[in-house]
Structure 1
Amino acid sequence: MSDNRGQFSSKIGFLMAATGSAVGLGNIWGFPTQAASNGGGAFLLAYLVLAFLLAYPALMSELVIGRHARANIVTALDELGQTRSTKRLGRAVGYYGVLVAGLILSFYAIVAGWMLSEFGQSVSQLIGWHTAETWLSSDSLLRHLLMCALFIVLTVAIIARGVEAGIESWSTRLMPLLIVILAGLIVYVLTQPGAIEGLKNYLIPDFTQLTRPSLLLSALGQAFFSLSLGVGTMLIYGSYLRKDDSLPRMGAGVTLLDTGIAFTAGLLILPAMYVAQAQGIAIYGDNGELLAGPGLIFQVLPSLFATMGNVGVWLSIAFFALMSIAALTSSISMLEAPVSVVTERTALKRVGAAWLMGGIIFTVSTIIVLNMERLFDRVVSLTTEYSQPLLGIALCLFVGWIMKRNQLLNELRAGHRDIEHSLFWKIWPFYVRFICPVLILLAFTQSLR
């Protein structure tokens, strides 16, 4: 099976794809707004430390399972099981992971559709197409569904082309473009009044804040979720790695790139918030709390761009292009999770599987849009606050307790000779067995409050 399923042709291809999966809408506005709400520089410091204490070991679990099995998450966990009960558990965890990935993509596509609408609105304003500008700025059901469908079609079109021609090819194009746009926006925003105050808040930590359990646990949760862990997206990407690739080094590369881009996003968003505040735009709600998430993206920043005249239009185009690219690089991995299961466990070919799963996900998105107030927040909460931590714990336990130690060592040794003599091997197996599940459980209990 592995000979026909494709693989990444280069290390850089994997790094771009895996980092693209991790760097999504949550990293661009989720991390900066979490930092702004939790002590700025203190949160940044805690996040950077915990990304390597928690996220990296958990990421390694997925990469090891994926490359060892060379299969989708369901088959991989099934094959790891040594008894009938552990095999059943593996299949159950795998199918639930695929379900969660599909549900995440269902609401993610809705938000990404809003990003595409904002991008199209800015372009229409620039070229003077006022009819399109008015329609794209409307809150109509048709606009929501059409833009959501457009985003899913873009995702399906990439996935249908396969690993090398689709996932790798487009990730290596989109990620550098994302970084260039992000850097350009940072340079401009840092020249505006108020930006330096935001930069100070972001980069200068108040060390007394580090004693707050809520800050530490929020940073822990952000480090875990920022790497797309728990739903098998990194597992399936790991299954496409070559045998001579060093898993510890590849995992470290993804973690460094992901945290680096999250940090860089903070250099844009926090100063931009303070620039908006200097322009008289509210960045805090009536209750005194920060306007985060959609409140920040769709209210504060567009209001800031509107005060900048023609320059603001170009900035709006660049910013929402950035957000749309970030959404697309993440959605690729989320769709690949269910598509890989369908193609490897049924007779359906990749193209048919991609369009089938895309159609199912759009149907779920439509149901959410039609019941937005009742379903949207609940689906987000079910998947990101409850399901991802529990799935992350399960995957760590599979590596730590079910996978045989010689299997683990042989898989790591394949691309990293003499790894048994390294510090990594002396620490990580114990760490992923005991420490990682406990830390993830702490993040999970914090999310329940």
Structure 2
Amino acid sequence: MAQVRDGFQSRLGFVLAAAGAAVGLGNIWGFPTQAANHGGGAFLLAYFIVIFLLALPALYTELYLGHQAQANPVKALKMAWQERNPKVGAGAGYLGLGGAIVMLSFYSIVAGWMLAHSIEPVTTFMGLDAVSQFLTGDSMMRNFVFTPLMLLLTAAIILKGVKSGIEIWSRRLMPVLLLLLVCLIAYMATLEGASEGFKAYLIPDFSKITDPDLIIAAMGQAFFSLSLGVGCMMIYGSYLKPNENLPKLTFSVAMLDTGVAFLAGLLIIPAIFVAQQNGVEVFQDGKLVGEGRLIFAILPELFASMGQIGIWVGLTFFVLMSIASLTSTISSTEIPVSFLVENHGMKRKSATWIVTLVILVCSSLIILNFEWLFGLVINVFTRYQLPLMGLFYFLTVGWMWRRGNQLLLATGGKQYWFAQYLKFVCPILMTAVFVNVVFNK
């Protein structure tokens, strides 16, 4: 008897899960950093424009591939390329599968840092200075403690499946994330210097809008912030019921993700100016002093300058970051787990522990060779794989997939014009993003 495939039971559950997959460190860390380095309000305006021009169609394309196939990315892409060369489609699926493992191998390390920093305010409050120094220090031992811990948290949710694990926990974690974000913004707005940050973020300098570097940076950030190009959205799309309104759900996911990125900017940009008001060195030559220092040095210095209240503000902030990390690791882990379950007939429990073990081994290799391997893995993944896979999805839906492709079969109306946009315009825009990330640092 064929096994009944798990899936989302409600539209809200899907939207929160898919938005959770997209909402991660790229939104709460990467987006405000890009905004601070590219003109604040000007970057925000450009970002909103390219969300509609590129990221929204890319999100729809990836969800559409999974939704039509009702299968994991390897199967879905193989089916889409069935009439051309199924090996090419399957090969791209395997590349995405490998990319998910690679992403998890470094993302779990960074997520572990967030988890450690979320515990540190508690140990500081209790006067455990040695423990606090361990939690915030850059040590191999800390990585080997908190990376497996984050992997175990992820595995505990994945083990329960889509309906009982991913959907339920997304419905719990995402509202908490939004609540914490809004509370932190409200508190930050009361501090001296925050008003300058709000002005820099919300009032665009229109003279910067035409800056090619700003436009391309906004295109890249919009694409990466939606967690596109790995297969997360494809697998989540495959768990939707066949008769769901995919365009409406795509729009809901994109707007929730964009909303979180916008709110993250409302928190981080004013926080930067508050830190500067308190004597923390933030900018040098008009750029942030070290992007990594924003989260692990500048903001902790700000929290420390607040006295007792700063302990709780820091706790809230890093709990927020940990939740954002967890919602992303869940979606990426589901990709290889679903592959083992569907393509190799494994039980979910066995598949989850095998994937977790593989990721732990890969993460351990990075930790042991951190100085040169960590940055290399991140650069190869973000600068090459993500934009290339996004381009591949556009070409698949627009040019290579014929049988069963309802978009290409459409002969009139909005669906036809959208199909033409996916076919001709989106590949050009995606190529521009790829060229930029490869040839510009």
Q: TM-score range by the shorter chain?
A: over 0.9
Residue of structure 2 in register with 1:244 after alignment: 243
Name segments (4+ residues, structure 1) moved above 6 Å: none
Residue of structure 2 in register with 1:53 after alignment: 53
Could you report, residue by residue, the CA deviation over 1:282-304 in whole angstroms, capped at 9, with x for unpaired residues?
1124x653135321000000000
Instruction: Report how many residues are paired.
Output: 439
Residue of structure 2 in register with 1:323 after alignment: 321
Residue of structure 1 in register with 2:173 after alignment: 174
Secondary structure at 1:211 match in 2? coil
Structure 2 CA distance for partners of 1:410 and 1:158, relative to 1, 3 Å: farther
* 1:309 alignment partner, one of 286, 307, 320: 307
Structure 2 CA distance for partners of 1:302 and 1:445, relative to 1, 3 Å: same
Secondary structure at 1:243 match in 2? coil
Residue of structure 1 in register with 2:405 after alignment: 407
Structure 2 CA distance for partners of 1:145 and 1:53, relative to 1, 3 Å: same
Residue of structure 1 in register with 2:109 after alignment: 110
In structure 2, distance between residues paired with 1:420 and 1:305: 58
Q: Give yes or no for contact 2:104–2:359 (8 Å, CA) kept in 1.
A: yes
Cα offset, 1:134, TM superposition: 3.2
In structure 2, distance between residues paired with 1:157 and 1:30: 27
Cα offset, 1:67, TM superposition: 1.1
Question: What amino acid does structure 1 have at the position aligned with 2:195?
Answer: I
Question: What amino acid does structure 2 have at the position aligned with 1:182?
Answer: L
Matched, 1:258 2:257: yes
In structure 2, distance between residues paired with 1:14 and 1:137: 35
Cα offset, 1:148, TM superposition: 0.6
Residue of structure 1 in register with 2:292 after alignment: 294
Residue of structure 2 in register with 1:209 after alignment: 208
* Structural mapping, 1:5-84, within 5 Å: 5-83=5-83
In structure 2, distance between residues paired with 1:276 and 1:70: 49
Cα offset, 1:405, TM superposition: 6.7
Cα offset, 1:131, TM superposition: 4.1
Q: Give yes or no for contact 1:64–1:408 (8 Å, CA) kept in 2.
A: no
Question: What amino acid does structure 2 have at the position aligned with 1:29?
Answer: W
Residue of structure 2 in register with 1:415 after alignment: none
* 2:437 alignment partner, one of 410, 425, 447: 447
Residue of structure 2 in register with 1:382 after alignment: 380
In structure 1, distance between residues paired with 2:116 and 2:346: 34
Q: Give yes or no for contact 2:408–2:419 (8 Å, CA) kept in 1.
A: no
Secondary structure at 2:226 match in 1? coil
Point out where structure 2 has 5 or more consecutive residues left out of the alignment.
none
RMSD: 1.7
Comparing 396-405 with 208-217, greater Cα deviation is found at 396-405
Could you report, residue by residue, the CA deviation over 1:344-381 in whole angstroms, capped at 9, with x for unpaired residues?
11132111111111111111111111111111111001
Point out where structure 1 has 5 or more consecutive residues left out of the alignment.
412-418
In structure 2, distance between residues paired with 1:279 and 1:220: 33
In structure 1, distance between residues paired with 2:104 and 2:291: 17
In structure 1, distance between residues paired with 2:174 and 2:351: 26
In structure 2, distance between residues paired with 1:336 and 1:159: 7
Residue of structure 1 in register with 2:420 after alignment: 430
Share of identical aligned residues, percent?
Answer: 48
In structure 2, distance between residues paired with 1:430 and 1:164: 35
* 1:346 alignment partner, one of 344, 347, 352: 344
Could you report, residue by residue, the CA deviation over 1:51-93 in whole angstroms, capped at 9, with x for unpaired residues?
111011111111111011111000111112234x520100110
Structure 2 CA distance for partners of 1:361 and 1:16, relative to 1, 3 Å: same
Residue of structure 1 in register with 2:334 after alignment: 336
Could you report, residue by residue, the CA deviation over 1:129-177 in whole angstroms, capped at 9, with x for unpaired residues?
3443232233321111110110011011111110011110101100000
Comparing 291-300 with 106-115, greater Cα deviation is found at 291-300
Q: Give yes or no for contact 2:398–2:408 (8 Å, CA) kept in 1.
A: no
Question: What amino acid does structure 2 have at the position aligned with 1:342?
Answer: L
In structure 2, distance between residues paired with 1:291 and 1:321: 24
Question: What amino acid does structure 1 have at the position aligned with 2:203?
Answer: I
In structure 2, distance between residues paired with 1:14 and 1:43: 29
Q: Give yes or no for contact 1:17–1:167 (8 Å, CA) kept in 2.
A: yes
Q: Give yes or no for contact 1:33–1:292 (8 Å, CA) kept in 2.
A: no
In structure 2, distance between residues paired with 1:115 and 1:4: 37
Residue of structure 1 in register with 2:223 after alignment: 224
Structure 2 CA distance for partners of 1:218 and 1:305, relative to 1, 3 Å: same
In structure 2, distance between residues paired with 1:76 and 1:132: 48
Residue of structure 2 in register with 1:271 after alignment: 270
Q: Give yes or no for contact 2:407–2:419 (8 Å, CA) kept in 1.
A: no
Secondary structure at 2:259 match in 1? helix
Residue of structure 2 in register with 1:4 after alignment: 4
In structure 1, distance between residues paired with 2:148 and 2:291: 22
* 2:362 alignment partner, one of 343, 361, 364: 364
TM-score (norm 1): 0.95
Residue of structure 2 in register with 1:416 after alignment: none
Question: What amino acid does structure 2 have at the position aligned with 1:78?
Answer: K
Q: Give yes or no for contact 2:68–2:242 (8 Å, CA) kept in 1.
A: no
In structure 1, distance between residues paired with 2:289 and 2:95: 33
Question: What amino acid does structure 1 have at the position aligned with 2:350?
Answer: G
Cα offset, 1:391, TM superposition: 0.4
Q: Give yes or no for contact 1:2–1:71 (8 Å, CA) kept in 2.
A: no
In structure 2, distance between residues paired with 1:248 and 1:399: 15
Residue of structure 1 in register with 2:100 after alignment: 101
Question: What amino acid does structure 2 have at the position aligned with 1:317?
Answer: L
Secondary structure at 2:405 match in 1? helix
Cα offset, 1:422, TM superposition: 4.6
Q: Give yes or no for contact 1:368–1:376 (8 Å, CA) kept in 2.
A: yes
Could you report, residue by residue, the CA deviation over 1:180-201 in whole angstroms, capped at 9, with x for unpaired residues?
0000000000110100101100
In structure 2, distance between residues paired with 1:2 and 1:284: 60
* Structural mapping, 1:389-400, within 5 Å: 389-400=387-398
